Amino acid sequence: MSVTNSNAAQSLDEVKRSQRRSAVAYGYQKASPHLILWGFIWVVGYSTTYFRPQANAAVWLLLVLLGITAGFWIGRRTAAEGSRTHDWRLAASILATFLFFVALFTIMPPRSGLQVGAIIPIFFSLCYAIGGIWKGGARFVLLGLAVGALTVAGYFWVTPYFLLWMAAIGGGALITGGLWLRRV
């Protein structure tokens, strides 16, 4: 059995394509439960902030801590046998994000709670879009664009109901996006 040059080149292309498809599908599979989790957190957080604004800080603190804890749990549950690399990456990402927002809000203090409620989702939308561009995950790019655009639209066009908008549309988009990523 001999392999010609063109057969070898064709096989190498096929190897590349399959690896790329597999890596993208793997990324979707890993991200899916996290998106669904944070979608529910947005639903609860934004709607509570709308109906009980006085409990805003406490509710978000509790929800973010809950989300981080659940994120670690999901990471461990879905990690490959013997792999714990997910843990430090998640911890480092949380720390980097926290430091970014501390710096951002110190340099440019927000004038209203709505600004905080809009800028954080826009930041995460940007992360999805950039991650998708670099990793070749078109669904991440679309999700980032959708959540970012919906956040901006809600902030400017439905300002009085922005928090409800983010609970229903923003949280809903994350949950739907998470479910969509599972369908690979």
Least distance to another protein, CB of residue 179, Å: 15
The contact mask relative to another protein for 62-81 (x = CB under 8 A, - = no) is ------------------xx
CB 163 within 8 A of CB 115: no
Question: Closer to another protein at the Cβ: 74 or 147?
Answer: 74
Contact 140, 113 (CB under 8 A): no
Smallest distance, another protein to C-beta of residue 93, A: 17
2 vs 106 by CB, closer to another protein: 2
User: Does 9 contact another protein by CB under 8 A?
Assistant: yes
- Say how far apart CA 69 and CA 62 lie, in whole Å: 11
Give the footprint of another protein on residues 11-70 (CB under 8 A): 11-12, 14-16, 18-23, 25-26, 29
> How far is the C-alpha of 169 from the C-alpha of 163, rounded, in Å?
10
Sequence letter at residue 83 = S
Q: What are phi and psi of 116, to 5 degrees?
A: -65, -45
- Give start and end residues of each alpha helix (H) in 52-158: 56-78, 85-107, 113-135, 138-157
Cα separation, 19 vs 24, in Å, equals 9
Residue 29 beta carbon to another protein: minimum distance, rounded to whole angstroms:
7
State yes or no: residue 184 binds another protein (CB under 8 A): yes
Residues at the site binding another protein, with contacts judged by CB under 8 A: 1, 3-5, 8-9, 11-12, 14-16, 18-23, 25-26, 29, 80-83, 184
